[in-house]
Amino acid sequence: MAEATVTFNASHRFARISPRKARLVMDTIRGDSVEKALNKLLYSQRRASPMIRKVVRSALANATQKAGLQEEELVVWRAAVDDGPTMKRWRPRAQGRAYPRLRRTCHLSVILMQVARKEKVKRASEKVEGAPAGTETAPQETVSGKAGAVPSKAVPSKAVPSKKTPSKKTAAAKAPKAKNPKAPSKSKKATKKPSSPPAASDRVTGEAAEEGTES
């Protein structure tokens, strides 16, 4: 664990719960980060979980107000449960008897400690396994193209089947025959429209003209 630089504490005195029940919850968060401890207490089914969660949040508020620290920079350094005063009560039983009932209390205390943030270290290049001593290894090709980044995985190349070039004889045999553009097509036949017979008025004028020429 890192050395303690600053500590922030909070406590809940005279909590109305037995020390044994509270210690079962305190033991689960001791040594965890504040963020992890709050998540554990949030989903815990124990009756002491809400009480202890309030104490941790109070200590976190002290750290934020005094030093401006966040959850990621704090760790639950100490989490203790001390015995408090016990209140004695009586309950009537059969035949005029009275049985004692003990109402136990405890003191909850939490101390947070500041720790340094974890720095993410990136390796410049991975060492090649089995390389002989004294030989320099070239930097591997990376996704970004710069040395020191994550090396890219080699993708196996798929074998492309080679296409055979057809010979001249086979190409000439397979080539379609070109049609003669000058030859008339059989489908298109020249059709002439039938001439219509001359009208009756044209016949009369024609006969009159012939008679005039004869005279």
Domain for residue 138, yes or no?
no
Domain for residue 174, yes or no?
no
Domain for residue 125, yes or no?
no
d(CA 172, CA 177): 9
State percent of the chain over pLDDT 90.
Answer: 47
Residue 44 · residue 29 · CB < 8 Å: no
Averaged pLDDT of the chain: 75
Domain for residue 195, yes or no?
no
174-183: average pLDDT: 56
The confidence band for 71, taking pLDDT boundaries of 50, 70 and 90, is confident
Backbone angles phi, psi at 55, to 5 degrees: -65, -45
The CA-CA-CA angle for residues 76, 80, 83, to 5°, reads: 165
Domain for residue 196, yes or no?
no
Residue 110 · residue 12 · CB < 8 Å: no
Domain for residue 185, yes or no?
no
Backbone angles phi, psi at 110, to 5 degrees: -130, 135
Write out the two tokens for 33: 């980060």
Listing DSSP states for 24-75 in one string gives HHHHHHTTSBHHHHHHHHHS--STTHHHHHHHHHHHHHHHHHHH---GGGEE
Query: Where residue 68 sits, what CATH number does that domain have?
Result: 3.90.470.10
Domain for residue 182, yes or no?
no
Of 115, 108, 82, nearest in space to 7 by CA: 115
State the total domains in the chain. Answer: 1
Coil vs helix vs strand at 93: coil
Domain for residue 76, yes or no?
yes
Domain of 22, in residue numbers:
7-89+96-114
Model-wide pTM > 0.85: no
Most confident of 3-7, 78-82, 181-185: 78-82
